[in-house]
Amino acid sequence: MDVRADWALELQLEQTEKRAESEDVKAAIAATLRYLRNGKGGHRRGGQKLVHHLEVARLRASEDNEWHVVRLLQDSVDYCEGRALKPEFEERFRLFQDGERNESTCTTSGASSGRRLST
């Protein structure tokens, strides 16, 4: 199985580390980032060891009840293992960072009933 390791993942991990409160959680995320950045020729490292680092960081966050960090790290695991596409991964992080979307009101069938479609 190919494990994805790219700039989007690195950026999310950097931001997740900043949001972590516990020193143990920050240290586990920092270890993950060190591993990710230590690829040959300036490339990022992936593989099952990266997934293992992410799982350890997620465990540390759950032990310290940092559930927002657990969620971000689970999104990272899903992305690495190909269960989330890059646009979805980036959008989830943006929503987590910025809050709800600011979308205009949609109407049913183009009618002007003013009712919003449920999403």
- Selection from 40, 60, 96, 59 nearest residue 5 by Cα: 40
pLDDT at 25 over 50: yes
- Model pLDDT for residues 28-55, shown as the tens digit of each residue: 999 999 999 999 988 999 999 999 999 9
40-71 residues labelled b (16+ CB within 10 A) or e (exposed): eeeebbbeeebbebbeebbebbeebebeebbe
Structure confidence at residue 93 (pLDDT): 82
Question: pLDDT band at 19, cuts 50/70/90?
Answer: very high
- Nearest Cα neighbor of 11 from 101, 79, 81 is 79
- Find out whether 72 and 19 touch, Cβ atoms under 8 Å: yes
pLDDT tens digits for range 74-118:
999 999 999 999 999 988 888 877 765 555 544 444 444 444 434
